Structure 1
């Protein structure tokens, strides 16, 4: 199953830019917390490929300093792929994202993730949730802010 998810993620990153109407890059920074492992910082980069004015395929990476266990000395690398819905409300857009992710640390795992946030002009603020499906005690929440750059 892990190989299937990895192939799906690679497929999305290869095919999506070819058919995209808009391409956006979005660096982010924020704080992370896990109910079992305390607080940390996160740094992420997202790439969005517009399918329509309301729907995007969004993927990227997230590095965070929250340790999944007390024996780990490396940063977590999470790679989510979202189905992203962007709902316009006056000058802002409400973003609702959901999809799978792959985690790389001392081990490889897969899980589900969801994100909700607000985009104002080119600024973004949001909250995300990651649930590891292979190690059910691993839950991660991220609060992050970012700035969007349009590529195309």
Structure 2
């Protein structure tokens, strides 16, 4: 019975090692982005321009860690609501015919009026090297900072 357990553990470790080697063969990708965002705060809903970028660091096949940064230029009638968002996503890619569906979730730091911490999620569609993504950021600490919903477009560059 012990030998069977050891064999199963050895097989699992071999599969993990093969996946890690194939992920390491893939290069880190950089995705600059531009799009539109809307922020929801107590003052009003603000529409703004979204500029930023993301790295995609492969861990195992179809799974990567994707840190990013977005600068959102928003202005309400009462005040300037420029926001800096720094998410760190756990990303899982699902191939569907000619496109990849990219599902991401993770924590996010937000800087508007003050520093805030929250959660972020993103659904992206990748066709060849073009990316279209919809994401949302929800803050947890400071009620003055807006929650943000964004639509962005980007292009992948390999950093190999």
TM normalised by structure 1 equals 0.79
Residues 133 and 69 from structure 1, CA distance in 2 versus in 1: closer, same or farther, beyond 3 angstroms? farther
Moved over 6 A (4+): none
Residues 84 and 129 from structure 1, CA distance in 2 versus in 1: closer, same or farther, beyond 3 angstroms? same
Q: Which residue of 1 aligns with 2:158?
A: 150
Q: What is the CA–CA distance in structure 1 between the aligned matches of 2:115 and 2:103, rounded to whole Å?
A: 26
Count how many residue pairs are aligned between Structure 1 and Structure 2.
133
CA contact (8 A) 2:100 2:127 kept: yes
Q: What is the CA–CA distance in structure 2 between the aligned matches of 1:68 and 1:114, rounded to whole Å?
A: 25
Q: Could you give the per-residue CA deviations for residues 17-70 of structure 1, whole angstroms, max 9, x where no partner exists?
A: xx9543000000000012433211100110110012210000110000125894
CA contact (8 A) 1:117 1:126 kept: yes
Q: Could you give the per-residue CA deviations for residues 64-115 of structure 1, whole angstroms, max 9, x where no partner exists?
A: 01258944x3621110000001111111100000000111233111000000
Larger radius of gyration: 2
Q: Which residue of 2 aligns with 1:31?
A: 36
Q: Which runs of 5+ in 1 are unaligned?
A: 1-18
Pairing partner for 1:56 from 43, 46, 64: 64
Pairing partner for 1:105 from 112, 120, 144: 112
Q: Could you give the per-residue CA deviations for residues 128-147 of structure 1, whole angstroms, max 9, x where no partner exists?
A: 00001113573210000000
Calculate the aligned-residue CA RMSD, in Å: 2.1
TM normalised by structure 2 equals 0.76
